[in-house]
Chains A and B, each alone.
Chain A
Amino acid sequence: EVQLEESGGGLVQPGGSLRLSCVASGFTFSNYWMSWVRQVPGKGLEWVANMKQDGSETYYADPVRGRFTISRDNAKNSLNLQMSSLRVEDTAVYYCAREVLPNPWSTMGYLDSWGQGTLVTVSS
Chain B
Amino acid sequence: IQMTQSPSTLSASVGDRVTITCRASQNIKTWLAWYQQKPGKAPKLLIYKASTLESGVPSRFNGSGSGTEFILTIDSLQPDDFATYYCQQYDLYWSSFGQGTELEIK
Interface residues of A (CB under 8 A from B): 35, 44-47, 50, 59-62, 95, 100-102, 106-117
Contact = CB atoms under 8 A, between A and B. Distances in A.
Contacts, number: 65
Nearest to B37: A45
B45 A110 contact: yes
Given A59-B93, A102-B31, A110-B33, A117 B48 contact: no
B96 A47 contact: yes
Contacts of A47: 88, 94-97
A115 B35 CA distance: 14
A113 B55 CA distance: 12
Contacts of B54: 112
Given A35-B95, A50-B95, A61-B94, 20 more contacts: A44-B86, A44-B98, A45-B43, A45-B86, A45-B100, A47-B97, A95-B42, A101-B90, A102-B49, A102-B90, A107-B93, A108-B91, A108-B92, A108-B94, A110-B45, A111-B43, A112-B54, A113-B45, A114-B43, A116-B42
